[in-house]
Structure 1
Amino acid sequence: MSINWADKLRKSLHGSADSLGNLCVEAFHYLALFGIGGITAYAAVVTFIEMLGKGVSVDDILLLFIYLELGAMVGIYFKTNHMPIRFLLYVAITALTRLLIGDVSHHKAPDAGLLYVCGGILLLAFSILVVRYASYRYPSTKAIDASGKEIEEAK
């Protein structure tokens, strides 16, 4: 009998530790999401105000698109607890495009660096194609709800 109460106590402690751990992880999760979303919105507003004062360039517009994509990523992650890798790839393509346009329009004549940036954009575009094909061909059959339990997705 003495082992029975000890086992119950161990299970109770384990359950309490799991609950406390899940609370801490979810609190950090939401705090970080609100922080990232707030900083992204603040940076977008500051950039927009600076654009109004100095004039608008294509670089600035592409920077606003990067902020928009980051905000969309935060929103999707907040709603679904899933991070679509495609959005990170879109941000990277937009950043490289911004670099490309800025380098060509503000600096010197095109050189080998231009080919590297274009190759990077092509590689990222190909990786989006691979990710899209893989998610279509091998869809996820399980999703995780807010409590951390797996649920079956409807097709």
Structure 2
Amino acid sequence: MTPEGSLLHRARGAFKYGLEWIEFFGLAVIGVATSIAMGEEVLAMWQNNRVTLTDLLLMFLFLEVLTMIAQYFKSGQLPVRFPLYIGMVALARYLILDLKELTEWRMLAISAAILLLAIGVLVIRYGHVRYPYNEDRDTPPKKPYVRE
């Protein structure tokens, strides 16, 4: 029996195919849920006749999640920077929302966390530009879920 026809080889292929569909379904659920949450937020702003900075930051978080999903579908890869951006905005939103209840030390800690995430993004960007992966130079990005 050839290695391509072996039971193990077929099982691996089926497992990989199953994981791709689970991944696709999970991303679709996240995308739909994020879109619904964004719509609810727009409706709440409309009903309140008011847009606050926290509303805008929450909308930005929703857009970042959708951008992260779109980036994955375009390239088949998920840059680590996107969750870092989401973390920075979430921390900034928390800082703005709870400013009156926060102690000075907690404000400093949150600000330091945002600064560390920003430094992390810079280090990742520098490393990616200065030391690109071999597959980045040699092959175009793969496009999953695209029929040709």
TM above 0.5, one fold? yes
Aligned to 1:51: 45
Structure 2: distance between partners of 1:28 and 1:109: 41
Aligned to 1:137: 130
Aligned to 2:145: none
8 Å CA contact retained: 2:31, 2:66: yes
CA deviation profile, 1:22-74 (whole Å, cap 9, x unmatched): 22111111111111111111111111111111221100110000000000000
Identity of aligned residues (%): 32
Aligned to 1:35: 29
Aligned to 1:125: 118
8 Å CA contact retained: 1:77, 1:83: yes
Q: Structure 2: where are the runs of 5+ without partners?
A: 141-148
Aligned length: 139
Q: 1:84 to 1:8 in 2, by over 3 A?
A: closer
Q: State the TM-score, normalizing by the size of structure 2.
A: 0.84
Larger radius of gyration: 1
Aligned to 2:108: 115
Q: State the TM-score, normalizing by the size of structure 1.
A: 0.81
8 Å CA contact retained: 2:64, 2:86: yes
Root mean square deviation of aligned Cα? 2.1
Letter in 1 for 2:76: N
Q: 1:28 to 1:138 in 2, by over 3 A?
A: same
Q: 1:9 to 1:128 in 2, by over 3 A?
A: closer
SS in 2 for 1:66: helix
Structure 2: distance between partners of 1:141 and 1:89: 24
Q: 1:30 to 1:109 in 2, by over 3 A?
A: closer
8 Å CA contact retained: 2:57, 2:93: yes
SS in 2 for 1:142: helix
- For 1:1-155, list aligned pairs within 5 A: 7-8=1-2, 11-54=5-48, 55-104=50-99, 107-108=100-101, 111-142=104-135, 152-153=138-139
* Greater RCO (Cα-Cα under 8 Å, separation 6 or more): 2
Q: Structure 1: where are the runs of 5+ without partners?
A: 1-6, 144-150
Structure 1: distance between partners of 2:4 and 2:69: 38
Q: 1:17 to 1:117 in 2, by over 3 A?
A: same
CA deviation profile, 1:108-138 (whole Å, cap 9, x unmatched): 4752111111111111111111111111111
